[in-house]
Amino acid sequence: MTIRVLLFASYADALGPHVDVDVPAGARVRDVLARVRALATGKRIPDKPLVAVNQVYAADDQPVTATDEVAIIPPVAGG
């Protein structure tokens, strides 16, 4: 299945505002991350970044489905 991954701030500067990656059915957050990091510019993403699934912070073993909104969250700076 294809997962669209949203990117922001410095990650979006390097990879664009989103990337699409293919993962097998039953894949988890960490599998999606591995595919993003395997892209040409993907090394800009750290090994264990914060990830949100459907706009909620998610653990790296959370399963993902093709309809999920997955986002990689750079170090935040609100306030």
Q: What residues does 21 pair with on adjacent strands?
A: 3
Instruction: State which residue, 6 or 34, has the beta carbon closest to another protein.
Output: 6
Residues 65/1, Cβ–Cβ less than 8 Å: yes
Q: Rule CB under 8 A: say whether 74 interacts with another protein.
A: yes
Minimal distance, residue 24 CB to another protein, in Å: 26
From first CA to last CA, the distance across the chain in angstroms is: 37
Minimal distance, residue 18 CB to another protein, in Å: 12
Strand order in the sheet with 56-58: 18-22, 2-6, 70-73, 50-53, 56-58
Minimal distance, residue 29 CB to another protein, in Å: 15
Q: Rule CB under 8 A: say whether 55 interacts with another protein.
A: yes
Chain positions contacting another protein, by CB under 8 A: 6, 8-10, 13, 52, 55-57, 71, 73-79
